[in-house]
Amino acid sequence: MRIKRLAGVALILVVAACRSGGVTPTATPPPAAIPIVTLAVTDLPGRWGLASYRVEADRARTETEAKSACSNPYNIEAGANGGVMMHLADQSTPSEVFVKNDSSGRVFIGPAGPPAVQQDRQVMSFESSVLVAEWLDPGVRERFGTMVFVRCGAA
């Protein structure tokens, strides 16, 4: 069966190799606007409803779902070194992370050190107790989508 599967895959590859698409000239996309975010590490400790979405059309209902997820919240505690304890991607135990800003005004949450490293989340917005963040690692971002944290108990 495995041989058959391999044969099937090989066939697809062969067929795929026969297909070609024309090169479409693409204009250089304009640089993405940098979100204006004000976030301090003291904003983070507490209980958060956590949900995720992939397409912008799902954002509003994802926020609603995050609010209702407060029955099983994501808990953020203060760290020993001035940061907060949060999970990095695929880590079952939390580690201390910090709020970091880069020179262009972007805000990140990640391990101590320079901003905008692969393990960081970029904070896309933080308004009215709703924090929206994306993993910088493209593979992780593709898997989890855009994360929405809604502070539990917020009006």
Partner 1 sequence: MDKWIKTLARLLGRALTVAFALTVPALAIESEELQIAEQPGYVPTPEEEMLPAEYRPQMVFFRSTEPPGTVVVHTQERFLYIVQGNDRAIRYGVGVGRDGFQWQGLLKITRKQEWPDWRPPPEMIERQPYLPRFMAGGPGNPLGARALYLGDTVYRIHGTNQPKTIGYAVSSGCFRLVNRDVIDLYERIPVGTKVVVRQAPAL
The phi, psi pair for 84, rounded to 5°, reads -130, 160
49 lies in the binding site for partner 1 (CB under 8 A): yes
145-154 CB burial, b ≥16 within 10 A, e <16: bbbbbbbbee
* DSSP bridge partners of 47: 75
Residues numbered 8 to 27 that lie near partner 1 (CB under 8 A) are 8-9, 12-13
User: Least distance from C-beta 47 to partner 1, angstroms?
Assistant: 12
* Least distance (Å) between residue 116 CB and partner 1: 20
Q: Which of 87, 114, 153, 154 contacts partner 1 by CB under 8 A?
A: 87
Residue 94: how many other CB atoms lie within 10 Å: 16
Q: Among residues 97, 109, 147, 152, which is the contact residue for partner 1, using CB under 8 A?
A: 147
Stretch that binds partner 1, among 20-28, 39-47, 62-70, 124-132 (CB under 8 A): 62-70
* 58 lines the binding site for partner 1 (CB under 8 A): yes
Q: Which two tokens stand for residue 122?
A: 């970029």
User: Who contacts 105 (Cβ-Cβ below 8 Å, separation ≥6)?
Assistant: 34, 36
Q: Which residues in 91-110 contact partner 1 (CB under 8 A)?
A: 91-92, 94
96 backbone dihedrals φ, ψ, rounded to 5°: -80, 130
Output DSSP code: residue 137: S
User: Is 137 in contact with 118 (CB distance < 8 Å)?
Assistant: yes
Quick one: which of 39, 41, 78, 89 contacts partner 1 (CB under 8 A)? 89
Q: Tokens 């297909």 correspond to what residue?
A: 19
83 touches partner 1 by CB under 8 A = no
Residues that bind partner 1 (CB under 8 A): 1, 4-5, 8-9, 12-13, 49-55, 58, 61-62, 65-66, 69, 72, 74, 86-92, 94, 142-145, 147-148
